[in-house]
Each structure stands twice: as structure tokens, then as C-alpha cells.
Amino acid sequence: MTAATVCRTYGTEPREGARFCDSCGAPVTEHDTRAEYKQVTVLFADVVHSMDIAAAVGAERLREIMTDLIDRAAAVVQRYGGTVDKFTGDGIMAVFGAPVALEDHAVRACLAALGIQAESGRLAAEVKERDGIDLQLRVGLNSGQVIAGEIGSRSLGYTTIGEQVGNAQRMESVAPPGGVMLSASTARLVDGAAALGEPEFVRIKGCSEPVAAHRLLGLAERHSALGRLESHLVGRRWEMAAVEALLERAVEGHGAVVGVVGSPGIGKSRLVREVSAMADARDVEVFTAFCEPHTSQVPFHAVMRLLRAATGVEGLDGHTARDRVRDRVPDADPEDLLFFHDLLGIADPDVELPKVDPDARRRRLTALVSAASLVRTEPAVLVVEDAHWIDEVSESMLAGFLTVIPQTASLVLVTYRPEYEGALMRVHGAQTIALGPLSDPETAALVSELVGPDNASPVHKSLGCSASNRPNTGERGRTAVVVIEEAHLLGHDQLEA
């Protein structure tokens, strides 16, 4: 195997023995440089009217502007786990999903695109003030299969090649200044997670007919389950009975922590949705925090999201939000309250935070949250989904906070994959529910409910449970029966998708 140690962001080789890139400070990693197929999302960002800017400010000043822009853009790409493939002269090409595979490459690329536009807006304000010119970017995204690896006999660098790369550049060419344009393939991958404009049919180079594209307007915190085909819960009888009994005890003031563990798609989120519906029927509030791959290095992200939901400050202005928090924890130490406001993102910008060691601050926040939980009288269900992606600070805080849950009227559900071995699976007194595959009869019942019986002139198609297989559609005007082989290996989440 041919391997090389490179910077994932810039693709440059570090000094001998160095563990971090001299250019950006990112840790360097070893990866296989042989050409291989990858499922990725490609991002192109280019400056609008760069030649006019060059004529207005000169080559030297243009270089300063482009250096600042590229540094900012590369930092955003790195933040979301992407790789800067190349500098294009007046912009960059970045790839999400190579060399390191990413299951949410499209979502990460969308977050990066919005982040790059935000950074370019800040730089544009500086350039406007100094040079009197307008600096704007176009950004385009496209998702699909490419070939990734070293190119050339002289090892000219790791890159991606294929039709999907060109299509990403064409999406950039039709994006409005200051906007982000997605191809139909990327739009499908972020459906439910992103706010998209109505489909626009645009003409791009190489296509005789207009193709569909979508403006990226924003991104939600988490993929939404709205619009998903929801079946009745099949199987999981004893699991639901166990959680229901714990919920009843929590309502009576005897809280519990439950870890729900299972492989991807086995039905962890489906079980959580069922428990949430059960709680809603009992007028019990449900507060949820989602952990995602691109937030695993963002300190306080998970605990902040959970506490913002639980305190009800979402959507409130800063002053109103601070008043609400003060009403909920009236006996809190004023300094601790300042730390809490900062954690929730509602701090008064005119008030300076006390200088405290980070570990001490974390302990004080944990104690404050624990105390607030002990005085809360209303029952609640707290959910932390996908804890295998939780950030280290949130994990530490939540592990401390969960120790008081048995003395409260709260039920806490923590979902995670089997490989997770962090602090949240070792909380003293916590219950664990391990989800296995559905039985053959349960799978048959679920598939029958989702697909439904139809015997009218069927066209039989077969779909094996493999990521490389795609369902075939029947001939126009005829019914297509899709046979899912080995479906007992799947769970609710995958079958309902």
C-alpha cells in the first residue's frame, strides 16, 4: 500500500517528524494515495468579476485580498472536515468525503458553503472600506461518485476527478453573487436538513437541456423527520414496556437514565420518537439535543442545544432570555449566572465574564444545572441523540449532571452506537437497552405496512440490502413490486427511509 502523510486541508507534506501542518496547524494524517472511487460533495467558490477587481486594485493588492480570502475559506472547510483540493486562481475547490469518507458529506459541504459566504461578507466590508470595491463570491455544490487519489507519475498531489467535479463548477457558474447553488443530487442528500429555494432550471455547459438546481437558503440544526413515512412500531414490545415503566416512575418523581445502543439504522431514533409521543400524550415536555459529526469538535455544542431547549430561550431576544433564565434559577450565584448566559448564547455583550479556569467554569456550570434540575417540579424527557459524536466538554458536563437525575422527575434517553465507550454509557444506575435486528415476521409486517399489497399486473423487482444497490422502478403505468432481500438485517430507521 502506498501511503503518504499530508495535511487534510492543504494537501501539503509537512516537515519530517512534524505532526501538524505549518500552514494551518491542522493535524496531519496518513492516507492511502491510490486512486479509488469515493462518494463526495464537491464545492467550488469563485470571486465575481475578479478581473475587474484586479484592474481596479492592482496585482499586489489582489494577492493580499485573495490570500486573506483563501485562508478564511480554508479554515471553514477544515472546520467541517473537508479538504481543500486546489486554488483555482480566483477561488477554491474543496471536497467533502475524500480522502476520509464522511456519511454526511453533503450536509458538511452546505455548512461550509454558508460559512465561506459569511467569511467573505466580513472580508468584503473591509475591502469596501479600504479599496472602494465590491467583493462577492459564487459557491456551487454537487454530489456524486468521483475517482480520488494521486495524479501523475511525479505525484502532483491528491485530487478528485470525474463528471461530478465539473458539475460542481457549473453549479458555481449559475449561482447568484453572494449565493450558494446546489445540484439536484446534493439537494436530495440534504432534504429535510436544509432550507432550499424552489427548483430553478438553468442551462449549464455540456447539457443540451436545462437542469434543476436549488438555492441554499439555510440549514437546520438537524435533519427533520417531517414528511417521513411513519409506520406503526413493529416489534420492540419489551423495550417500549421498559421505557414506559421508567417514564411512569419519572412522572412520580423517580427519574432514570436510559442508554439506547444499536448499530446505524437499527431504530434508535424511531424508538425515541415513540417515547416522545408517549410523553406528549401525558403532557410531559420533551427536550432534545442532536450530536453530529461536524460538531464533535465544537465545545459545549450538545449541552448548549439541550439547555437552550430546556430553558425555553430559543427565539427570544437577549434581554428577555436572560430574564427567563433568572426566573428559573433565582438563587444562582451572579457569576455562575453570567457563565450560564454565555453557555446559552444570550450573554450581555456589555458585561465582561469573570476570569476563571476552564475546568472550574465547567464544574460551576454543572453544579448550577444540577441544582436547577433538583428544584424543577414538572416532569420532562431529555434526549441526547447520537452520543458517539458528542463533544468532549458536553460529555463531561452531562455525565456530572446525570448523576442527580434519579432525584428528579426526568427521564433521560441517550442513544449511541456500539463503538461508543464514553462517560455517558457509564453513568451510575443507568439502564441500557440494546436494539437488535427485527425478526423475520416483524420485518415482513413492517415492509407490508410500508409498501402495501398490490396484485395488479406486477412487475417484480429485487433489491438486496446493500448500499450499492438501488431500487428499480417498474415500467410506466405498471405496478412495481420491490423485494427487499435480507431485510431482517435492517431496522425501523432504514426501512422507513
CATH number of the domain enclosing 427: 3.40.50.300
Q: Pinpoint the alpha helices (H) of 146-230.
A: 163-174, 184-189
Q: What is the reported pLDDT for 21?
A: 64
Give 295's contacts (C-beta < 8 A, 6+ positions apart): 301, 302, 389, 391
Q: What is the reported pLDDT for 405?
A: 93
Question: 434, 466, 482 — which closes off a domain?
Answer: 434
Kindly report the backbone phi and psi dihedral angles of residue 201, in degrees, each rounded to the nearest multiple of 5, phi listed first. -95, 115
Q: Tell me how far apart the alpha carbons of residues 189 and 196 are, in angstroms, rounded to a whole number.
A: 12
* DSSP letter assigned to residue 48: T
* DSSP letter assigned to residue 312: T
Q: What is the reported pLDDT for 373?
A: 87
Q: What is the reported pLDDT for 411?
A: 95
Same domain membership, residue 176 and residue 272: no
Q: Is residue 256 part of a domain?
A: yes
Give 98's contacts (C-beta < 8 A, 6+ positions apart): 38, 40, 83, 146, 148, 160
Q: Is residue 364 part of a domain?
A: yes
Q: Is residue 3 part of a domain?
A: no
Q: Is residue 335 part of a domain?
A: yes
Give 433's contacts (C-beta < 8 A, 6+ positions apart): 239, 242, 243, 258, 259, 260, 261, 271
What burial class does residue 365 get, using C-beta atoms within 10 Å of its C-beta: 0-12 exposed, 13-18 middle, 19+ buried?
buried
**In 10 A of CB 384, how many CB atoms?**
28
- Report residue 163 CA to chain centroid gap: 26
Query: Which run of H or of E encompasses 76?
Result: helix 59-79
Same domain membership, residue 257 and residue 310: yes
Question: 434, 449, 478 — which closes off a domain?
Answer: 434
b/e string for 326-364 if b means 16 or more Cβ within 10 A?
Answer: eebbeebeeebbbbbbbbbebbeeeeeeeeeeeeebbeb
Q: What is the reported pLDDT for 27?
A: 56
Question: 434, 449, 481 — which closes off a domain?
Answer: 434
Q: Is residue 14 part of a domain?
A: no
Same domain membership, residue 492 and residue 428: no
Alpha carbons within 13 A on the beta-carbon side of 87: 15
Q: What is the reported pLDDT for 28?
A: 59
Same domain membership, residue 255 and residue 207: no
Same domain membership, residue 354 and residue 274: yes
Same domain membership, residue 165 and residue 193: yes
Same domain membership, residue 471 and residue 403: no
Phi-psi sector, 274: left (phi>0), alpha (psi -120 to 50), beta: alpha
Same domain membership, residue 180 and residue 119: yes
b/e string for 297-315 if b means 16 or more Cβ within 10 A?
Answer: eeebbbbbbbbbbbbebee
Q: Is residue 4 part of a domain?
A: no
Tens digit of pLDDT per residue, the chain (497 long)? 344 455 554 455 666 667 666 655 555 555 555 778 889 999 999 999 998 999 999 989 999 999 999 999 999 998 888 888 888 888 999 999 888 788 789 999 999 999 999 999 999 999 999 999 999 999 999 999 988 877 665 555 677 777 888 889 899 999 999 999 999 999 999 987 888 999 888 877 777 788 889 999 988 655 444 344 455 776 778 888 999 999 999 999 999 999 999 988 788 888 898 899 999 999 999 999 988 877 787 888 899 989 888 888 887 888 899 998 888 888 888 888 999 999 888 998 888 888 888 888 889 999 998 888 888 889 999 999 999 989 999 999 999 999 999 999 999 999 999 999 999 999 988 999 998 887 777 777 777 766 766 554 444 433 334 333 334 444 444 444 444 544 444 555 544 44
Q: Which residue range forms the structural domain that includes residue 165?
A: 35-219
Same domain membership, residue 342 and residue 384: yes
Q: Pinpoint the alpha helices (H) of 376-439.
A: 392-401
- When divided into structural domains, the chain yields a total of 3
Q: Is residue 28 part of a domain?
A: no
Same domain membership, residue 320 and residue 188: no
Q: What is the reported pLDDT for 408?
A: 93
Q: What is the reported pLDDT for 269?
A: 86
Same domain membership, residue 418 and residue 361: yes
Same domain membership, residue 389 and residue 296: yes
Give the position of cell 436572560: 322
* DSSP letter assigned to residue 49: T
CATH number at residue 61: 3.30.70.1230
Q: What is the reported pLDDT for 98?
A: 85
Q: Is residue 15 part of a domain?
A: no
